[in-house]
Amino acid sequence: MDLYSFATNTRRAIIYGALGLVAFLVLTVLYRFAANLYLTLNPPPEPPPTAGFGELPKLNLSSIEVEGSPTYLLETPTGQLPTFDDRIEVVAMTSVQPTLLGEEKARELAEDLDFGGQGSLSGDRQTLTFRDEIDKRTLAVNVVTQNFTLSTDLGRIASLSLGKALSGPDAIKETQGTLNSLGLLKFGFDTGNQTATFKAVKNSTATEAGSTSEAHFTEVNFFRSLTEVASQSHSIIPVSPKTGLIRVWITSGLKPDILNTLAITYNAQQVEIDKSKTETYPLENVATAWESVKQGSGTAYVGVSGQISSISVTNISIAYFDDAQHQEYLQPIYVFSGVAKNANGKEGEFFAYTPAVSENWISE
């Protein structure tokens, strides 16, 4: 073969090779496009929910207690029920670990809160109570769960000067510092939300005040959130959406400083959310949940008294239920919120909870 023929054949080989490569690339792109289009139009069925915990215990949601026979109105931004996924995460909770050192830990807490003495143990040996007669304070500690209640006599609080309540941000900062110093700001409450409300004691009752100048103290409620489990975080709320499982009353100007903490209600139960143990469960249809709310199932909070004439639900979301009693699993609930109006035309907030896991997976 002469040099000319060799060069010609080489050029042809290069051209055919380039054309073949282009054809291969084009066919590959077309194949992938066709495969993706097919999968988009014909997606493979999603695996069923794992339901690895088996049947779940029934949530401790009492029946809705709404006075009267209100008309329920759906007034969401779209006027329709929202759309949710077909499944939801359920998370295990660590168990309460009884300890022989329960009484010792209770006495350590009492000392940190400036209570003296060894305390008085209840007949069932579950509650250790301490009393401060001078400052009219009482501390009752459950030696099993380490939940406790610190209270100050309401008459003593009423005798304090008005205007000593802290601003919302200052009250939250102070109460966080107090709980941290006691080693109690944990179990998810350290990363959750807080609310602050001004309150005054009148006629032996703590009622909301309009400002710090009208208040004896600021109430701070602590709520936790569920994060790093689903694609979005969810609120974790107890029976009352306004009252956290940790609640603190704080004022200012008293000495020693610990006396400014007028009250603590601590129902965190010393248990963690075990995010390493998570299963998915079928979600109850939101339309079914809405019907159950209208029929009085679940738990409700109504911020206005008297006979309720109408309830307007303006938002429907998913949260998780935080029970004051120990629960094996953190389970989701539907939260219906809006406005309740009584027969006199007065309005107040409305909340209703119903289970969000399909009833087929709830034990009787």
Tell whether 259 and 306 lie within a shared domain.
Answer: no
Residues 186 and 287 in one domain: no
Residues 297 and 285: their CA atoms lie apart, in Å, by 15
Q: Each residue of 143-199: pLDDT tens digit? A: 988 899 999 999 999 999 999 999 999 999 999 999 999 999 988 898 889 999 999
Q: Identify whether the C-beta of residue 206 lies closer than 8 Å to the C-beta of residue 199.
A: yes
pLDDT digits (tens, 9 = 90+) for 258-292: 999 999 999 987 678 999 999 999 999 999 999 99
- Specify if 170 maps to a domain: yes
Same domain, 161 and 219: yes
285: nearest Cα among 86, 59, 90:
86
Distance CA 298, CA 355 (A): 8
Using alpha carbons, select from 334, 347, 257, 335 the residue that is nearest to residue 88. Answer: 334
Distance, in Å, from the CA atom of 175 to the CA atom of 193, rounded to the nearest integer, reads 13
Q: What is the CATH number of the domain that holds 132?
A: 3.30.310
Task: Give the full edge-to-edge strand order of the sheet including 329-330.
Answer: 273-282, 87-93, 329-330
CA dist., res. 286 & res. 56, Å (int):
19
pLDDT digits (tens, 9 = 90+) for 92-145: 998 877 666 789 999 999 999 999 899 999 999 899 999 999 999 999 999 988
Q: How far apart (Å, rounded) are the C-alpha atoms in residues 145 and 245? A: 14
pLDDT tens profile 80-103: 999 999 999 999 998 877 666 789
Give yes or no: residues 192 and 175 share one domain: yes
Split into its structural domains, the chain has a count of 3
76 in Cβ contact with 269 (< 8 Å): no
Is-contact 333 59, C-beta < 8 A? Answer: yes
Q: In CATH, what number is assigned to the domain containing residue 303?
A: 2.40.128
- Determine which helix (DSSP H) or strand (DSSP E) holds 109, and give its type and residue range: helix 102-112
Q: How far is CA 252 from CA 109, 162, 185, 260, 342, in A?
A: 22, 10, 21, 5, 38
Query: Does residue 64 lie in a domain region?
Result: no
Asked if residue 62 is part of any domain, the answer here is no
Residue numbers of the domain that contains 203: 102-272
Give the closest residue to 151 by CA, choosing from 242, 261, 288: 261
- End of a domain among 272, 288, 323? 272
Q: Is 112 helix (H, G, I), strand (E, B) or coil?
A: helix
CA 314 to chain centre: 20
Task: Give the model's confidence band at 1: pLDDT under 50 very low, under 70 low, under 90 confident, else very high.
Answer: low
Strands 71-74 and 308-321: parallel
Q: Are residues 205 and 347 in the same domain?
A: no
Sign of the four-CA dihedral 267, 272, 273, 278: negative
Phi-psi domain of 109 (left: phi exceeds 0; alpha: psi -120 through 50; beta: other)? alpha
